[in-house]
A and B are shown apart, each in its own frame.
Chain A
């Protein structure tokens, strides 16, 4: 790595990407593949992109999307990045109509991603709905590093259960739950994890992304098993760069680095930026009571 690359590691790029593919993968879910000049080795699983969805005053702000997968290009330094998204509002509705070849305004990779496990043993990846988006990149990296992972995917109905085959292709065992029982276990994915743990060994770690209630439940399970747990959170975001302080979540708090004195010794600084210190947090760090 050259010195200039070294200084750029961890820094975001503002680039023009080219849309290679944008297709529906399930009712109200699309997947987009973008060719970018972002070096693949600079992307961590769990990081995200801010995509400009319009050059009009409305919708104004960029939209954040987890990086679903990344692949290095053989010829040059760039990468093909996939994002998996749910059509929920004005921005994603516009995106769903984008055609191959469109030039995209991309900012990323952003945020702090997942820390890869340092111990051997099975890792549990738990996803709810669109939460699978960020966990796939993680499972890719885990596979490359020789980790074994079990993947739990929950959705309201079978139409909301995504990526099962993709995870299987990676060689992961996949367990599915739907609230209506239309596919796999009937009930919440967290109930399935609990029942699975009755007959199986405790995992070495949990990695979860999905609705807040699901994350809260997984954090609780992990704590009761004394297993580390990383959760990927989502909040409304404006800049994605750590400047606006709009996307914070309440944590159990830690003194601001280097400013312990300013807080009179023990006072905690509770709000952390999802775009910078997150989106992935240690579940012990999150103040689940308030969030």
Chain B
């Protein structure tokens, strides 16, 4: 379905954005880990309408993930500790990419390595695979024993990972940052300097929940990552801070449930957004957000989504 001319009054505002050479029809992407490999949502969502699909984090070898219970709902959100269960690179390339290849929507592969070398190997092999528009480098997963958030918490480590990935592929590189850091601007700059083409902010906030009756943690790993509307104000603040510190595009993620939420991120400086937990609540959330952003642009006289990016009237 074309987004143009849905309402009377001529062509609609321009919704397309460019993230490091990846051409998105609109700024709304499905976030990694919340949209599977696309096929899970295909019966309910026209995947061709999405700005991009970011696939579930992939590692070189399959990973079995953490023991259950892996999720718990909290006020305004949920804590997860999936532990990057995934089919591994080989099965991903062989079984999952061909399905996604049927659609016009760019596919961005989220990659995760336990070592710098593994990140490089993933980037190299995905760069040789058709059907991948870009990589999202996950240096921010709070739920794995090695790698993960450790890479994203230290500017030097982050720099090393991104530099290795940069040398291993010509694909556009998005680097997904953790909120569990003291100074997001420092990490963002390190990533930019190492050759990252864009930055996505943020991964989940480290969190926990307890059952007072049993005095047991509600997740097997005790600590997990909080997502959902509860984290939006934190994510928005980090996007604002990072967008002021780097020149590369920033992609906003964190508790986006509605078009209004997405607009807040864009105004704060995000060139695009990712929708995560909302997909669980409402499988069609991305589509409603796309329509809502377009309606806002139209109603407020914007001809191009780009006019809105970073347009916060701060003073």
Chain B residues 40-98 with CB under 8 Å of chain A are 40-41, 43-44, 56, 61-62, 64-65, 67-73, 75-78, 80, 82, 85, 87-88, 90-91, 94-95
Q: Which of A14, A52, A247 contacts B44 (CB 8 A)?
A: A14
A247-291: which have CB < 8 Å to B? Answer: 247-250, 256, 258-259, 261-263, 269-271, 290
Q: How far is the CB of B61 from chain A (nearest CB, A)?
A: 7
Residues of chain B with a CB closer than 8 A to A52's CB: 281-282
Task: Assign chain A's interface to a size class.
Answer: 35 or more
Could you say which of A60, A237, A271 contacts B229, with CB atoms under 8 Å apart?
A: A60
Q: Of A11, A13, A14, A243, which contacts B36 at CB under 8 A? A: A243
**Within the complex, which residue of A57, A263, A269 is in contact with B230, where a contact is CB–CB below 8 Å?**
A57
Looking at the complex, which one of A105, A107, A236 makes contact with B72 (CB distance below 8 Å)?
Answer: A236
Q: B279, A11: Cβ atoms under 8 Å?
A: no
Q: Which residue of B lies closest to A59 (CB)?
A: B73
Task: Decide yes or no whether A62 CB sits under 8 A from chain B.
Answer: yes
Decide if A262 touches B68 in the complex (CB within 8 Å).
no
Which residues of B are found within 8 Å of A242, using beta-carbon distances?
Answer: 36, 40
Which residue of B is nearest A243, CB measured? B36
Among A14, A245, A263, the residue within 8 A (CB) of B65 is A245
The answer, yes or no, to whether B19 is at the interface (CB within 8 Å) is: no
Contacts A12-B43, A239-B280, A258-B94 given; indicate if A249 touches B77 (C-beta within 8 A): no
Contacts of A259 in B (CB 8 A): 62, 87-88, 90-91, 95
Contact A60 B73 (CB under 8 A): yes
Closest to A261 in B: B90
Contact with B along A216-253 (1 / 0, CB 8 A): 00000000000000000001111111111111111000
Name the distance in Å between A115's Cβ and chain B's nearest Cβ: 22
Q: Which of B41, B77, B85, B95 contacts A241 (CB 8 A)?
A: B41
B70 near A60: Cβ-Cβ < 8 Å = no
7 A-B contacts (beta carbon < 8 Å): A61-B73, A238-B277, A240-B280, A242-B40, A244-B80, A245-B85, A247-B71
Query: Could you count the A-B residue pairs with CB atoms below 8 Å apart for me: how many are there?
Result: 124
Contact B69 A270 (CB under 8 A): no
A-B pairs with lowest CB-CB distance, top 6: A243-B36, A246-B71, A11-B43, A259-B91, A239-B280, A57-B76
* CB closest residue in chain B, given A264: B61
Q: Is B257 an interface residue (CB 8 A)?
A: yes
Report the separation of the CA atoms of residues A85 and B34 in the bound assembly, to the nearest whole angstrom.
28
- A245 to B56 Cα, complex, angstroms: 10
Q: B35 touches which one: A240, A243, A262, A290 (CB < 8 A)?
A: A243
For B310, what are the chain A residues with a Cβ–Cβ distance below 8 Å?
Answer: none
Closest to B89 in A: A262
Is B104 part of the binding interface, using a Cβ–Cβ cutoff of 8 Å? Answer: no
B interface residues, Cβ below 8 angstroms from A: 33-36, 40-41, 43-44, 56, 61-62, 64-65, 67-73, 75-78, 80, 82, 85, 87-88, 90-91, 94-95, 228-230, 257, 277, 279-284
Besides A244-B71, A245-B85, 5 new A-B residue pairs in contact (Cβ under 8 A), listed by A number: A57-B77, A60-B73, A256-B91, A259-B90, A271-B64
Q: Which of B43, B88, B94, B230 contacts A8 (CB 8 A)?
A: B43
Interface pair B68/A14, CB less than 8 Å apart: no
Instruction: Let me know if A243 and B40 touch, CB within 8 A.
Output: yes
CA distance A271 to B65 in the complex (A): 8
Least distance between A231 CB and chain B CB atoms (Å): 16
Tell me which residues from 155 to 184 in chain A have a Cβ below 8 Å from any Cβ of chain B.
none
> Is the Cβ of A271 less than 8 Å from the Cβ of B85?
yes
With CB as the reference atom, state the residue of chain A lying closest to B60: A262
The answer for the CA separation of A25 and B68 in the assembled complex, in Å, is 33
Q: In the docked arrangement, what's the CA distance between A235 and B282, Å?
A: 20
- Which of B40, B65, B67, B85 has the most chain A CB within a 10 Å cutoff? B40
Say whether, besides A248-B68, A256-B91, A61 and B44 are in contact (CB < 8 Å): no
How many angstroms between the C-alpha atoms of A242 and B43 in the bound complex?
13
Q: Is the CB of A238 within 8 A of B71?
A: yes
- Given A52-B281, A61-B281, A256-B91, does the pair A243, B34 have CB atoms closer than 8 Å? yes
**Given A256-B62, A259-B88; A58-B76 close (CB under 8 Å):** yes
> Given the interface contacts A236-B71, A256-B87, A271-B85, does A14 sit within 8 Å of B283 by beta carbon?
yes
Given contacts A238-B78, A244-B280, contact A262 B41 (CB under 8 A): no
Q: How far, in Å, is B8 (CB) from chain A's closest CB?
A: 27
* Residues on B with beta carbons closer than 8 Å to the beta carbon of A11: 43
